[in-house]
Chain A
Amino acid sequence: NAGVTQTPKFRILKIGQSMTLQCTQDMNHNYMYWYRQDPGMGLKLIYYSVGAGITDKGEVPNGYNVSRSTTEDFPLRLELAAPSQTSVYFCASSTRDRNTGELFFGEGSRLTVL
């Protein structure tokens, strides 16, 4: 059972480059999320989606875009990468049941912008 799969695991970008972080889940979860985690900091929500075709901004959406064309996939697009986007990015998914509170995370994508 793969769960949540993120690619790539590591990436170095130059300032101004663009890239897409891929995220796919095989648990048929409706809810999907992108968080970033800076060293010594908590996870900050970038974007989330409650179902295919529906996305919404989180706490720190600037510089990012997302799409949700299928239940399984939730890619995160970085346009014009900046050093401030150096971080670890986590994709997560969950069911509709708010009471379980269990997010299933991918292993993370470590991005460095130089």
Chain B
Amino acid sequence: RKEVEQDPGPFNVPEGATVAFNCTYSNSASQSFFWYRQDCRKEPKLLMSVYSSGNEDGRFTAQLNRASQYISLLIRDSKLSDSATYLCVVNYQAGTALIFGKGTTLSVSS
């Protein structure tokens, strides 16, 4: 079983749409969870952390379900500039490296 699995994508949505990405992780001892964004041919950058209580940053909402080992990212009112690949990232243990999912590609069209 792969450590971090994401929706295969790609997701093609019109501007203004709401889109949700899902991610599952295999190690129940995972401690920290994040969403990164990667633009085409660029380096990944942290989008937001994911907390147990759920957290929101503007149009972006992240949720964590530890019992189901499931993470989600909701994007409301999609913008053209949201077009990118979204990477689900998990940290199992302090001092170890982050584990990245393959990513889900979002394309927002006008």
Contacts and interface: CB of A to CB of B under 8 A. Distances in A.
Nearest to B51: A99
A105 B43 contact: yes
Contacts of B34: 101-102
Interface residues of A, number: 23
Contacts, number: 52
A40 interface: yes
A103 B100 CA distance: 12
Chain B interface bracket (under 10, 10 to 19, 20 to 34, 35 or more): 20 to 34
A80 interface: no
A42 interface: yes
A107 B43 contact: yes
A31 B98 CA distance: 11
B46 A43 contact: no
A101 B94 contact: no
Contacts of A106: 43
Contacts of B100: 35, 42-43
